[in-house]
Amino acid sequence: MAWGDFTKQAAAYRLSRPSYPVELLEEILNEADLVVGDPVADIGAGTGIFSQLLLDQGLEVTAIEPNAEMRKYGEETCKATWLEATFEQTGLPDASQKWCFAAQAFHWADVPKSLAEIRRILGPGGGFTALWNERNNGQSEILSWVQEALSRHVPDFDHDYRTRDWATELVSTGDFSMVTPLSVPHTVRMSKARFLELWRSNNQLNTIAGPERLAAFFADLEGHLKTIGAEEIDVPYLCKAWTAT
């Protein structure tokens, strides 16, 4: 299994990953003066979760996703214009986009090359928003238990992107000069099956753990959920966005 290759996690990703707070998106769109029909790019679009939110706002969306399996699921449900491309080489014309977005994806990018490419495809006054849903482990007994179980079964697993200084990285190349942060909490209620798929969709966990440690972790997790009788689970998130202009 390759680092960053979601081919084997695509089905679980489509079934389990949460959407993003509409109020956060609406605030970003208002600040960006985006209106119905404006062309925007969702880079690293995955299965189209964020692309669909953009479409729902009436925007003209190009969804860029390099992984064929993720793109296949996205094309089935999200009517954006889909392209096989990357952050570093989007294939879009110069100055063709009013805004660019990356949801749960920019930590996979080569930052200097990607920022230069994003600046190239943006028109005058355009900007770039990178955002992530982060599980709020401290607000959930089940999530706290999962973190403890991961520390036992896969102690080398770590979400390193959560500690990165995105406000600094996004202006590090000079392509952008100012970063505006925004955070919105939200909670997603999941069935037990979806909660298990959520962890199966995690590429870093699958890659680092390997088959044996992953199987032991899931056996422990399923046993715990059965013991506490959890059929539905409230998963608290803090959606964090950084907008570069």
Q: Where are the alpha helices (DSSP H) in the chain?
A: 10-16, 22-32, 49-56, 68-77, 111-121, 141-153, 166-169, 192-200, 203-228
* Mean pLDDT value across residues 117-141: 97
* Mean pLDDT value across residues 99-128: 98
* Mean pLDDT value across residues 179-203: 94
Q: For residues 245 and 237, what is the distance between their CA atoms, to the nearest angstrom?
A: 26
Give 44-55 pLDDT, tens digit per residue: 999 999 999 999
Amino acid at 48: G
* Mean pLDDT value across residues 184-189: 98
Pairing, β 97-103 against β 179-191: unpaired
* Mean pLDDT value across residues 128-136: 97
* Mean pLDDT value across residues 159-174: 89
Q: In this structure, what DSSP letter does residue 93 have?
A: P
In degrees and rounded to multiples of 5, residue 235 shows phi and psi of: -105, 110
Half-sphere exposure of 44 (CA within 13 A, CB side): 22
Reduce the secondary structure of 106-146 to three states and give it as a string.
HHHCCHHHHHHHHHHHEEEEEEEEEEEEEECHHHCHHHHHH
Q: Which domains does the chain have, with CATH numbers?
A: 7-136+159-188+236-244 (3.40.50.150)
- Is the pLDDT reported for residue 158 higher than 80? no
Give 195-228 pLDDT, tens digit per residue: 999 988 888 888 888 889 989 999 999 999 999 9
pLDDT number for residue 5: 65
pLDDT number for residue 202: 82
**Among 114, 145, 150, 141, which residue's Cα sits nearest to residue 130?**
114
Percent of the chain with pLDDT over 90: 83
Q: In this structure, what DSSP letter does residue 58 have?
A: T
Q: For residues 57 and 22, what is the distance between their CA atoms, to the nearest angstrom?
A: 10
> What is the Cα Rg of the chain in Å?
18
